[in-house]
Every structure is written in C-alpha cells, then in structure tokens.
Amino acid sequence: MNPSSVIALMPLIIIAAGAILTMLVIAFWRNHALTVGFTLVIFLLALISIPLAASSGVVQVTSLLILDGFAYFIIGLVIAACFVVALLAYGYLRVHEGKPEEFYLLLLSAALGSSVLAASSHFVSFFLGLEILSISLYAMIGYATKNSLSIEAGVKYLILAASSAAFLLFGMALIYAELGTMEFAQVAADMAALTSNENSVYLLAGFVLIMVGIGYKLALVPFHMWTPDVYEGAPAPVAAFVATVSKGSVFAVLLRFYLQIDVTNHTPLLVIFVGIAIATMLIGNLLALRQTNLKRLLAYSSIANLGYLLVAFLAGGANAVVASSFYLTSYFITTLAAFGVVTVLSTGSQDASQLEDYRGLMWRRPWLAAILTVAMFSLAGIPLTIGFIGKFYLVLVGVGSALWLLVVILVVSSAIGLYYYLRVVVILFASIPGKRIVEEKAPSLSPLGSIALAGLFFLLIGLGIYPGPLIYLIQIMASFTH
C-alpha cells in the first residue's frame, strides 16, 4: 500500500467509514430524516471522489483489487443507484411500522460489497465482496418484518445465496488445485499457456461451478426460480436494489474474469454461455407474458435483460466493455424508474404489486403514469428512450462479432417482450368500471421521491435522444481499462 493506492481506494474508504459513522449516529440519535440525510451526503462524497481517484490511472492494490476505468464506472453507477434507492426508501419507510434507520446502514454495507466486486481481480476479494453484499441483502429483503411475504423472501434468498456460495467456493478450489493461483490475470495467463489437450477436467469443472454460482446471483436460466418470489416479497426499494446494484456488480466480475480468460478460445465454456444466453432471453420473456403482478413481471424482465447482456459479453474485447457498460446504465435507470413508481404508490400495509392497482393511473396520477409509461417503453426498446439505444448497441456488437444466432434470439425475444410491456401501458390508460376516477386516492409522494423520479424520467428521455455524453464517458473509461 502507498499514497496512490489510498487515493485510488477513496470511494470505498468513504463508504466504509460512512457506514461506521452512520452506525454511531443511529446509536446516539435515532432520527429518520437525519440518518437518510447523512447517508445521502456519504454517497455524494463517494461519487465526487471518483474523478480524483481515477486521476491516478490504473492502480493495482495488492493482488486483490484493480482500480481501472471499468471499475470506477461500475462503482459510480452503484453509488448513484444507491443514492436513488435511499431517496425512494425515505418516503417508503416513513409510512411503515418499525425503526427505519438501520436500513441505511445495510444499504451502505451493500454498496461497499458491490464496489469491492466491481474492482475485484482475485477470487478472495470476489468472495469477500459478494458476502458483504449478500449478508446485507438478507436483512434488507426481510426488513418489512410485519409482512410474511418479506420474511419468506429473505429466507429464500438466504438459502439460495448460501447454496450459490458453496458452488463458487468449490469451483475456486478446483481452479486453485489445478493452477496454484487465485488471481484473475494469472489464471488467464496459465490458461493461455495450456494446449487443448492439456485442459483438465477439474479446470473445466471449476469454471462451470463458478458459472453456476454467478448464475444464481444473476438469475440466469436455469438458476432463476427464486427471482419472482424474492422480488414480490421484498420491500419495493429493496427489489429495485436487487434488480440493479446486486446484479450489475456481479455481472462486472463475470465480465472482467471471463474476458481475461477469453471464453471464445474454450469451446465447452462458449457452448455453455451461448445456451444460457438463449434460454435466459426466451424463458425470461415467455414467463412474463401471463403475469398479473407488476413486481413479478419486472422480475422476469430482469432475467431477460441479463440474457441480453450476455450477447455483449460473448462479443468479447473492448466492444463488450463499452456495450455492456452502456446497457447496464440504461437498465439501471429504467428499472429504478419502474420500481420507483411502485415504491411511491405503496402504502404502509402493502406494496402496489398487482397490475389492477395501476388501472386508470393516468387519470389519477398523470405524472407517475407518465414515468412508468416511459420506463415500459425503454424496457421494450422503443425509440427516443435510453433502452432503445442500449439494445441497438447490443445488436451492433453482436453483428460485429458475427453472433448471428444470439442476435436473432435477442430480436425475437424483444418482440415477445413488447406484449407485456405495452399491456402495462394499456392498463395505465384504462378506465375504472363502476368508480369515479377522481375519487381514487394514491399515497402522497415525498419530496425526495419526487426528486428521484424526476431525475430518472429526464435521464430516460434525455439519454435516449442525446446519448453522446454517456457514450463518450464510457469510451474514455474503456481506454484505461486493464
């Protein structure tokens, strides 16, 4: 460790120190508004510190962490998403029974684990970051203790996260036994030195087991069955966190690790990834067709979107980093907007989960209906939204790498998705039979929730019309990625 390493680690240090200070603040003065304000300041300071930290260039901090352009971009995306989740959670938690302050401590801890994942260059830091994130999520998912669905979702996630951790550890052990290293770069170098005849069964088994563990975390088919139940039971802002930050940070590790070993040079791994990508895109969309619960619909949508991301991942090279980063950004913004509307419409007794809860929302709360409409358009990939640019980028890199089968499946599955996304929009504009629409009351929108949703709405439209600044930022990031 040296001064440049400390500067490079500044965002992580601020979040870690902020979590400790938040715990002390809660211990001495329990106040919801104070706690959320303190948490927002910590996230802002961490976000502001990223340009200073990135000015050092690529910094390898021991063998565990690599702070390069990609790591800083994902860390910035994670922190920004956590900032939005905190804004939304304030209005949500203030109408729920219980003590809300500890939620923000868990959120800071989860943000730290996600940031460690984004910068991981070693199996040890990968596992530590994943466990910091997972342990925080167990409590966050089951935070609404008065709701039996929330407790059930927390227990399900606990069991499946423990199972996936076992797969990961066994896979890491097999790779270490074969190659004698747990560092990503050294694993890649040793793999490159092997001929096709030297590929060990243990080595292949290790990679497959790691893929199974990551598949559970990303909810890739066939490891996706927990997703709709957890999304439905989790508090709405936590579901937004799981759909974005949790999956985005794990995908960052997947991208960094498997791009270094170059999956395209290992036919068995390539076949496995292609099969998972096709199944995830198709099954995610097909299972969403008959959903009558918006949170479950968004859960299956998130499964399909991770399948889309695998197209960019399999394209490989710098294009994979740029396309994946852009699509992750569009997915984060869109999903946070959709779950943000669910959050602000949820009451103290239950979340606004059923699609019927949104019937005629345009005539009751036009502003919220407009945000949810644009979010659905973006998820569907309709022009003038950031989702369209993201999918266009994926198709572009897929065609550039001659992944014709995956591109065709992406287009077909996106066409299937149009049905259930537009079905939500139709419900928003429908009338309510036998009721006077003007008498329908929705929960009041907190000022912080209004700020979060307004920002997301303008990003959805603004970056869909003029994505140049974001693309330029991502290209600069990719130019100094290790």
pLDDT tens, position by position, 78-100: 999 999 999 999 888 887 767 88
The radius of gyration of the chain's CA atoms, rounded to the nearest angstrom, is 22
β-strands 59-61, 65-67 pairing:
antiparallel
Sheet strands (E) in 28-117: 59-61, 65-67
The pLDDT assigned to 62 comes to: 85
CA distance 194 to 182: 17
For the entire predicted model, the pTM comes to 0.92
- Whether 70 and 252 have beta carbons less than 8 Å apart is answered as yes
Arithmetic mean of pLDDT, 273-283: 93
pLDDT tens, position by position, 6-40: 888 999 999 999 999 999 988 888 888 899 999 99
The two counts, helices (H) then strands (E), for the chain are: 21, 2
- Give exposure, 32-63, as e/b (b: 16+ Cβ within 10 Å): eeebbebbbebbebbbebbeebbeeeebebeb
The pLDDT assigned to 265 comes to: 74
pLDDT tens, position by position, 142-200: 888 777 888 888 898 998 888 889 999 999 999 998 888 889 888 888 877 765 545 57
Under the banding of pLDDT at 50, 70 and 90, the label for residue 327 is very high
pLDDT tens, position by position, 354-373: 888 888 888 888 889 999 99
Residue with the larger pLDDT of the pair 59 and 337? 337
Lowest mean pLDDT among 54-58, 204-208, 291-295, 311-315: 54-58
The pLDDT assigned to 349 comes to: 66
Arithmetic mean of pLDDT, 204-221: 89
The pLDDT assigned to 241 comes to: 93
Arithmetic mean of pLDDT, 434-458: 67
What domain count does the chain have?
A: 1
**Which SS3 state, helix, strand or coil, does residue 183 take?**
strand
Arithmetic mean of pLDDT, 245-263: 87
Look up residue 58 and give its two tokens: 């690529």
**Domain of 410?**
3-479
CA distances in angstroms from 475 to 158, 326, 339, 355, listed in the order given: 38, 10, 29, 39
The pLDDT assigned to 358 comes to: 87
Lowest mean pLDDT among 80-84, 294-298, 478-482: 478-482
CA distance 186 to 413: 38
CA distance 440 to 364: 7
